[in-house]
Structure 1
Amino acid sequence: MSENMQHDWKHWRLRREDGGLAWLELDKADASTNVLSAEVMTEFGRVLDALDAAPPKALVIASAKPAGFIAGADIEEFSRIASPAAARALVERGWGLFNRLAAVRYPTLALIRGHCMGGGLELALACRYRLVVDEPGTRLALPEVMLGIVPAWGGMLRLPQAVGPATALDLMLTGKAVDARKAKRIGLADDCVPARVMESAARMMALAAAPARRPPLQERLLRLAMNGPLRRVVADKARKQAAAKVSREHYPAPFAIVDIWEKHGGNALAVPAGDPASLEAIFDSPTAKNLVRVFFLQERLKAFGKESDFAPRHVHVVGAGVMGGDIAAVCALRGMTVTLQDQSVERIAPAIQRAARLFERRHKGDARQVRFTLDRLIADPEGHGAARADVIIEAIFEDLAVKRSLFAELERRARPEAVLATNTSSLRLEDIASALQDPSRLVGVHFFN
């Protein structure tokens, strides 16, 4: 029996079975993908009110879309946040609703098929159980760090509880996704099932109301120590890993995630306004604004790319640090010839070594393929490859004067039709491009490592 007509809900569908199980499906109106917009979240609050008034025996939350669970928050709405107060209100809304969901007395289960990202995963983490469908498209992640923000709707609280602090911090600081089988293996999901049995499996798990899946005793003891006496040690290690890739000044979000977990129990609302990890500081940072802008540009470029026949064969990367080295490695994996420039061969060598390990993993130990891919990645301390490249990507440290000087030199050496690109996340393209004879040649790209 459906309750939608009775409650006049636009995005959520609630139906109850005779045995007492309720199914709540999200089907965001006029959209191909489910996102947690303000309207969707407000309506979710009314759904919870209805469930409070007539509690089910158990609740399964799923997607009514053909593919995908929930893609996360509405980035379009996020981009329109105009004040720290508005940012705090957005966080308070999600934090409060998901805390309400986590506190209900009846069992709750998130049935996850397809992408489950950001706020979608935070909603799933607020459920007692998570059942994932074993398909290639099922991917779970908290990628907020890639937008320069933090998973403030409960992700920093509940992901460490589900998978342990070390694994949780790694996932949150990198934004990387896990597939269905890995989700079960690390404790993010209670079970992983084929699509043909997902509804019956969800029904059985929710109605059984069994205790939540617990890790082995040794793992529980380790997590207890990490959340207690070893909490600072875990946090310091995570900060060092972040600092090896980015600076807090230019990319504050990873460090804020660690601080909020260590000092405030994962509650971003508890951070004082003057703190570098505060919502006010994060949402107002140039990095967050730039990365959100990059996100929308990427979405537009995806559409443009379908119509383009541009196929670069030679990429020249300047900067062999972690970011530049990884960009070079990924390009080589995609079949391109890559020249990697830095001040000396000694500075380039660690990037080549990291690339070799990546190629070993990606080629599953096939020595022949690893060798072929390594042959396409060429150390180029003098930068001779810039004169032959189809695309030149700058990935050096965030210093405007140095970048301007570098691009002035690259413009003189590059082919007229070559694309000049910067991987900056905190500096304005216009400021960098002002050093060029033809500023229109410079484009912004962004890779997430």
Structure 2
Amino acid sequence: MPITIPDLKDWTFTVDYERIAWAVADREGESMNALGRRPTEELEKIVSAVESAEAGEIKGLVLISAKDTSFIAGADINEFDVYDTEDKIKDAVTQTLALFDRIENLPVPVVAAIHGYCLGGGLELALACHWRIADREEGTRLGFPEVKLGIFPGLNGTVRAIRSAGPLDGMTAMLTAKMLRPSAARAMGLVDQLVPTRHNLRWAARKAVLKKLRSKGAPWWKKLMARQPVRGFLAKQMREKTAAKVREDHYPAPFRLIDLFETCGDDPKAMRLAETEMFAPLMVSDTSRNLRRCFKLSEMLKAAAPKDAFKPRKVHVIGAGTMGGDIAAWCVACGMQASLQDLDEAQIDKALSRAKKLFKKRVRGKTAFDSAVARLIADPEGKHIKHADVIIEAVAEKLEVKQGLFADLERKAKPGAVLATNTSSLKLEEIAGPLKDPGRLVGIHFFNPVAQLPLVEVVRGDATREDEIGKACAFVTAINKLPLIVKSCPGFLVNRVLAPYMMEAVRLYQEGQPREKIDQAALKFGMPMGPMELMDMVGLDICNKVGEELSLAPEGEGSQDNVLANLVKQGKLGKKTGRGFYQWEDGKPKREPMDFSDTELTRLGEKLMAPLLAEAARAEAEGVVADADHVDAGVIFGTGFAPFRGGPLHYAKTKDAAADKEAA
């Protein structure tokens, strides 16, 4: 009699003629698989069916996915907020831990056949299986992203990662949160076997079951690293490297993971129990809640792009300066073809040379590198305009130049191509003035450096049509950026909110606050870089221009008091000239050694952030973006505003609520 399990919605379960059981993850109504409550309950039914089968009735179990892009992409983050106490978290985790242990203890071989994203809880599930096979396709990635959510693996992934990959590789994978290519995961020991494509997975899994393959885990010499005194030495190194990247008071999760390893790294049984005890407080912390909020905000921005609509393949960029050249190079690194136009062919040559450095970091192998180089085309005469799906103007901020350019582009571009300007200061309505169809023009505003900042502002002018906005958002997501739809206004959102913060830093500096203290205060608050260093990086001439455009120049303009304007007049423009607020040597600012108390840094940080918070509130009130969540998303992903605080408006709201509670 065949084994059947009724009423499964997120899995299918069959037993084939060779008596191999196939559990196929296919979460109902979702594009990707995630371990939510219902999928986990259904997996428990599948495991129970295998456990209760008569001897010989099932020879093995294969876990595989029906989705195009994921094996299991982690736990369902939308369900996390249900678990709002440590006891609730421990209860939920304990049930799933028991299920994973039952999978590991099944008497028949259990194989995980991995295509697409296998992350977080999905990788923890795979590690509970006896044998793991992954395909080599480009879309397949494995990893533990939990520290980005303010937690660490909590389904005994810490124990199983160390068992499979060894202490050094296992801990590194969890601490860095990197998404690993299949070959890297195989080299570590997180995967046992690789196949060329997803189409080879079923056959390979079948053979693994019939051969009763079981992973041997990390070799003996790797396991020795879990013993003292080596473990203590490794923990010390890990703590130092982690502290160089993040502050423990802002992001405690990686530090608690290192504590767990240092305390229990050679005792799997103790580590299993301690993992849950340390995981639960992290899960209910404000840091984790706010980092989960950031993840949801990023998903919200991605949702602005229409599904299955505009699919750009060819991009034409006009203006081969730093911004234009880097936009073209990034598009190529993301798989597109880009042509680059400029009156100065030497500028194009510089951009092409700079692009090769990006390709070396972003693409793997000589063939892929050569292909990327070939897809970035020097086009000084603009011959590729007629073929482009997206045309981006990134020339000097001169209205008449842009107007003439777009009038010409309107005649040459193919129907349906996106006409976009990367302007940061001119009104779209004025640029679109001479166009026969002004509704076609949209702003696509990148931030420098293009390769590092994830946000792109999609600017809607008064006449811009919604379908053009949708196509622009589709393009932005196609190059792995986050689109934020903003109203055409001075500074849009990000520059408008960031400028008062930078000008407040200048004002404090003019009042006598040391530049080192100002930067340290910002870092203590949670910013990725201090404002003085940031302005030097951006260029003091650009900062001064933005301040003037937004009427935010420090008091004393034109006098000795305006330190920013005076530095610009002296040609001290920051990093690019070697001198600004700081003196730059070997690409780094030369700082004076100074120590300040936490209290005074905290007080100064609050003062420094006040104008940013106020401007963010004004931007929401004026409808620059859709709502408060979009303000927070834009400022987090466009400026690096302390992610663990959940965004400026969210931070201000929780701060006010805490003050009211204390007053009561």
TM-score by length of 1: 0.73
Deviations 1:313-356 (A, max 9, x none): 454xxxxxxxxxxx897249x99xxxx99947xx9xxxxxxxxx
User: What's the offset of the Cα at 1:378?
Assistant: 9.1
Whether the 8 Å contact between 2:225 and 2:231 is mirrored in structure 1 is: yes
| Mapping 1:287-436, distance limit 5 Å | 287-304=287-304, 309-315=442-448, 330-331=452-453, 343=515, 379-380=536-537, 383-388=540-545, 401-407=603-609, 421-427=639-645, 429-430=648-649
- 2:41 is aligned to 42
Distance 1:412 1:97, change over 3 A: closer
User: What's the offset of the Cα at 1:21?
Assistant: 1.7
- 1:132 is aligned to 134
- 1:191 is aligned to 193
User: What's the offset of the Cα at 1:432?
Assistant: 6.5
Give the whole-Å Cα distance in 2 for the aligned partners of 1:52 and 1:121.
Answer: 22
Give the whole-Å Cα distance in 2 for the aligned partners of 1:387 and 1:378.
Answer: 9
Deviations 1:205-239 (A, max 9, x none): 22112352566xxx531432334542222222212
Give the whole-Å Cα distance in 2 for the aligned partners of 1:194 and 1:175.
Answer: 25
> Of 85, 100, 116, which residue of structure 1 is paired with 2:118?
116
Distance 1:229 1:382, change over 3 A: same
Whether the 8 Å contact between 1:314 and 1:388 is mirrored in structure 2 is: no
Whether the 8 Å contact between 1:400 and 1:432 is mirrored in structure 2 is: no
User: What's the offset of the Cα at 1:310?
Assistant: 4.7
Letter in 1 for 2:543: A
Give the whole-Å Cα distance in 2 for the aligned partners of 1:400 and 1:36.
Answer: 40
Q: CA RMSD in A?
A: 4.1
Give the whole-Å Cα distance in 2 for the aligned partners of 1:411 and 1:271.
Answer: 40
User: What's the offset of the Cα at 1:64?
Assistant: 1.9
Give the whole-Å Cα distance in 1 for the aligned partners of 2:40 and 2:134.
Answer: 23
- 1:149 is aligned to 151
- 2:68 is aligned to 66
Q: Is 1:92 the equivalent of 2:94?
A: yes
Letter in 1 for 2:135: V
User: What's the offset of the Cα at 1:173?
Assistant: 1.0
Distance 1:256 1:10, change over 3 A: same
Whether the 8 Å contact between 2:290 and 2:644 is mirrored in structure 1 is: yes
- 2:365 is aligned to none
Whether the 8 Å contact between 2:131 and 2:213 is mirrored in structure 1 is: no
Whether the 8 Å contact between 1:343 and 1:381 is mirrored in structure 2 is: no
Distance 1:237 1:10, change over 3 A: same
Larger relative contact order (Cα-Cα within 8 Å, sequence gap ≥ 6): 1
Give the whole-Å Cα distance in 2 for the aligned partners of 1:16 and 1:252.
Answer: 45
Other structure's SS at 1:65 match: coil
Whether the 8 Å contact between 2:100 and 2:128 is mirrored in structure 1 is: yes
Could you tell me which runs of 5 or more consecutive residues in structure 2 were left unpaired when the two chains were aligned. 308-419, 421-441, 457-478, 480-501, 506-513, 520-533, 548-597, 625-630, 654-664
Give the whole-Å Cα distance in 2 for the aligned partners of 1:155 and 1:214.
Answer: 14
Give the whole-Å Cα distance in 2 for the aligned partners of 1:422 and 1:129.
Answer: 40
TM-score by length of 2: 0.51
Letter in 2 for 1:330: Q
> Of 77, 80, 83, which residue of structure 2 is paired with 1:81?
83
Q: Percent identity?
A: 30
219-228 vs 133-142, which moves further: 219-228
Q: Is 1:25 the equivalent of 2:24?
A: yes
Matched residues, number = 381
Distance 1:259 1:73, change over 3 A: same
Computing the radius of gyration from Cα coordinates, the structure with the larger value is: 2
Distance 1:237 1:185, change over 3 A: same
Letter in 2 for 1:261: F
> Of 200, 203, 206, which residue of structure 2 is paired with 1:203?
206
User: What's the offset of the Cα at 1:79?
Assistant: 2.1
Give the whole-Å Cα distance in 1 for the aligned partners of 2:15 and 2:275.
Answer: 43
- 1:52 is aligned to 51
- 1:257 is aligned to 257
Distance 1:12 1:381, change over 3 A: closer
Give the whole-Å Cα distance in 2 for the aligned partners of 1:237 and 1:64.
Answer: 41
Whether the 8 Å contact between 2:68 and 2:116 is mirrored in structure 1 is: no
Deviations 1:148-168 (A, max 9, x none): 011111210111111111111
Letter in 1 for 2:42: E
